Structure 1
Amino acid sequence: MICPNCRGKNIGIIGQKHYYCWNCAIELTVINNILHIHEIEHDGTLSSLDDLFSEEERRI
């Protein structure tokens, strides 16, 4: 898997269909072969970054 944000391959698995990019510190979730991208805020909440990427860029 390649991170759609930084194009890095340093991706770790944190749960079933949940991944974490160690390069740019974002969380990736796979639903129906589409990546859903979230930024982890300082308080631990997640903010969606899906609107920054086209569906084609997020397709795996």
Structure 2
Amino acid sequence: MRCPVCAGIDTGKVGTDQYYCWNCLLEFSRNGDHGFTAYYVDEEGTLVALGGETGTDRQELSL
């Protein structure tokens, strides 16, 4: 699975339809066949959504 944010291949599965990218340090989940939601993990371990749901087109997300 490629990261939908940076298109990197260094991703790992962390749950059902949830993945972590070691390149951009973001977690993302698949929403159906054509979308995803990206999250960053704050210092307390809470997932914080970035930019809402997106389609398959990559978008630049600023932290």
TM tier, smaller? 0.7 to 0.9
User: RMSD of the alignment, in Å?
Assistant: 2.0
The 2-side partners of 1:4 and 1:32 are apart by 14
Runs of 4 or more off by more than 6 Å in structure 1? none
TM-score by length of 2: 0.71
TM-score for the superposition, normalised by structure 1:
0.74
Deviations 1:15-57 (A, max 9, x none): 1101000111111111212111101111111111134x85241
Decide which structure has greater helix share: 1
CA distance in 1, matches of 2:54, 2:16: 24
> Do the aligned partners of residues 17 and 54 (structure 1) sit closer, same or farther apart at CA in structure 2, a change above 3 Å counting?
closer
Q: Does 1:15 align with 2:15?
A: yes
Structure 2: distance between partners of 1:32 and 1:13: 16
Compare the two structures and name the one with the higher strand fraction: 2
Where does structure 1 lack aligned partners over 5 or more consecutive residues?
Answer: none
